[in-house]
């Protein structure tokens, strides 16, 4: 098969992130980002990676919509001889946030598939519409090419009902498709497999707790390669303390804010999704800034850090209990990969559970997957950089290659 390139598209409401990969060696040919689509100050940043040194090009001009954005991306790629009309392009892989219960695997997009993604908009009102726009636009650009949807929820569809159901009236829950779906699945799948590789074991033979700590954050319990629990639920609001989201709280807080605080449902939605978590607690959502403030003796930042770590520790304990036997804990994403103090604090005092972090190993900075636990520790603790784009490209290519075989 000569077509070995995959374009990965991650379409948000006003942005498109993209990567072009060559699946012969999983190398990146180009990466880029279009931001502020629909505004006067749109920006495209494109970085070709084929010619040795990476030199980015930037365009600042109004980009009206996703179609204009993808056309601009196609132009930039063509400038580097990587145009979307190339016969080497095998497929376009789309990140789709919500696949509900139906999509348990990456799926070649047909009209029916698109209609089902559309049907899920009520449970993913912020994300699925943007993903659909990205897919439709890419279809216009290359109607002949397979387009593949890779779902954030798919990895979590193996969760047992005991973990996936909320304890509420079953009829009401089913009528409105209220249950725990989980997100960041592409990352949890990739990182749990890479963790097994680091231990030189097959994924079937290891139980892993994955802690994906980015601006959004989630934990998952993975038994023998299959997800058995995860911290995000119907939406990404549940679970850990995040950059701007509250994570777990008594749902009655919402009634209280509405009845006593006089807030509207939309205002509470914005409060809990955009103005809570670390930013709500201390005014900053960037862990670097929070650590800097703590070093200067800032009490508000220190409390925000403690609340963040306390929740993280509770999930480690909970998933330890869910799994029964834990072989490894993997820290990943922006905070998990870079913030050594978070990793250290999250497992501090858990020696009885076989958990420890070696101070020296923990302070090493590297892009590679690496163990940070001391040799004597019963459970391996590791930093495992995530790579969602590579995972989407790998899954997309596997699907179209099989179809063409």
* 35, 17 contact by CB (below 8 A): no
Query: Per the annotation, does 17 bind a ligand?
Result: yes
Does 216 sit near ligand ADP (CB under 6 A)? yes
CA nearest to 73, candidates 64, 65, 84, 60: 84
Q: Report whether 337 belongs to an annotated binding site.
A: yes
**Of 22, 85, 152, 248, which one is the catalytic site residue?**
152
The answer to whether residue 7 forms part of the interface with ligand ADP (CB under 6 A) is: no
What's the gap between Cα 39 and its chain centre? 26
Has 152 been annotated as catalytic? yes
**Single residue of 214, 257, 273, 370 touching ligand ADP by CB under 6 A:** 214
Cβ of 167: how many Cβ atoms within 10 Å?
6
Tell me how crowded residue 186 is: count the other CB atoms within 10 A of its CB: 25
Three-state SS across 138-171? HHHHCCCCCEEEEECCHHHHHCCHHHHCCCCCHH
Residue 95 labeled ligand binder:
yes
Should residue 333 be labelled a site residue for ligand ADP when binding is judged by CB under 6 A? yes
The number of residues in the chain equals 405
CB of 339 to ligand ADP, least distance (A): 4
Q: List phi, psi (to 5°) of 290.
A: -65, -45
Q: Near ligand ADP by CB under 6 A, which window of 58-66, 101-109, 144-152, 329-337?
A: 329-337
When asked if residue 239 is in the footprint of ligand ADP (CB under 6 A), the reply is: no
Quote the DSSP letter at residue 375. Answer: T
- Nearest alpha-carbon partner for 361 in 377, 295, 349, 189: 377
334 part of the interface to ligand ADP, by CB under 6 A: yes
By beta carbon distance, the residue nearest ligand ADP is: 334
Please give the distance of CA 57 from its chain centroid, rounded to a whole number. Answer: 26
Smaller CB distance to ligand ADP: residue 206 or 301? Answer: 301
Tell which phi-psi region holds residue 389, choosing left (phi > 0), alpha (psi between -120 and 50) or beta: alpha
Per-residue interface string for the shown chain with ligand ADP, residues 259-288, x marking contact by CB under 6 A:
--------------------------xxxx
- Which helix (DSSP H) or strand (DSSP E) does residue 276 occupy? none
In the bound state with ligand ADP, the residue whose beta carbon lies nearer, of 228 and 382, is 382
Query: Which residue among 23, 84, 339, 400 contacts ligand ADP (CB under 6 A)?
Result: 339
Q: Which stretch binds ligand ADP (CB under 6 A): 79-87, 165-173, 304-312, 327-335?
A: 327-335
- The answer to the question of whether 262 is labelled as a binding residue is no
Q: Considering CB under 6 A, how many residues would be counted as binding ligand ADP?
A: 13
Residues marked as catalytic: 152
Q: Which residues are annotated as a binding site for Mg(2+)?
A: 10, 388
Which residues form the interface with ligand ADP (CB under 6 A)? 214-216, 243, 285-288, 333-335, 338-339
């Amino acid at each position: 098969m000569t077509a070995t390139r995959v374009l990965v598209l991650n379409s948000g409401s006003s942005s498109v992130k993209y990567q072009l990969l060559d699946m012969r060696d999983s190398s990146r040919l180009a990466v880029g980002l279009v931001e502020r689509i629909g505004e006067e100050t749109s920006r495209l940043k494109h970085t070709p990676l084929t010619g040795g040194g990476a030199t980015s090009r930037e365009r600042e001009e109004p980009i009206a919509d996703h179609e204009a954005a993808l056309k601009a991306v196609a132009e930039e790629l063509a400038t580097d001889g990587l145009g979307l009309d190339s016969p080497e392009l095998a497929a376009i892989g789309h990140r789709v946030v919500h696949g509900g219960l139906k999509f348990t695997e990456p799926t070649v997009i047909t009209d029916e598939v698109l209609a089902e993604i559309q049907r899920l908009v009520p449970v993913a009102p912020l994300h699925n519409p943007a993903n659909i726009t990205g897919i439709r636009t890419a279809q216009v650009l290359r109607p002949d090419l397979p387009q593949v949807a890779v779902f954030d929820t798919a990895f979590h569809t193996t969760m047992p009902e005991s973990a996936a159901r909320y304890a509420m009236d079953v009829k009401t829950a089913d009528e409105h498709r209220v249950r725990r779906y989980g997100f960041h699945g592409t990352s949890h799948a990739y990182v749990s497999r890479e963790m097994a590789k680091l231990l030189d074991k097959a994924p079937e033979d290891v139980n892993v707790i994955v802690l994906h700590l980015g601006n959004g954050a989630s934990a998952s319990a993975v038994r023998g390669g299959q997800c058995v629990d995860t911290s995000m639920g119907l939406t990404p609001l549940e679970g850990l303390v995040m950059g701007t989201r509250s994570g777990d709280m008594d749902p009655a807080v919402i009634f209280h804010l509405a009845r006593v605080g006089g807030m509207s449902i939309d205002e509470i939605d914005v409060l809990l999704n955009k103005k809570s978590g670390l930013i709500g607690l201390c005014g900053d959502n960037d862990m670097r800034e929070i650590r800097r403030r703590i070093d200067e003796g800032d009490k508000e930042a220190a409390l925000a850090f403690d609340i963040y770590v306390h929740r993280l520790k509770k999930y480690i304990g909970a998933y330890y209990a869910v799994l029964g036997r834990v072989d490894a804990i993997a820290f990943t994403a922006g905070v998990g990969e870079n913030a050594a103090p978070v990793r250290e604090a999250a497992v501090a005092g858990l020696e009885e559970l076989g958990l420890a972090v070696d101070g020296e190993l923990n302070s090493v900075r590297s892009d590679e997957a690496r163990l940070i636990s001391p040799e004597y520790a019963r459970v391996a603790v590791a930093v495992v950089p995530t790579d969602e784009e590579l995972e989407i490209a790998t899954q997309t290519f596997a699907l179209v290659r099989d179809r063409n075989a």
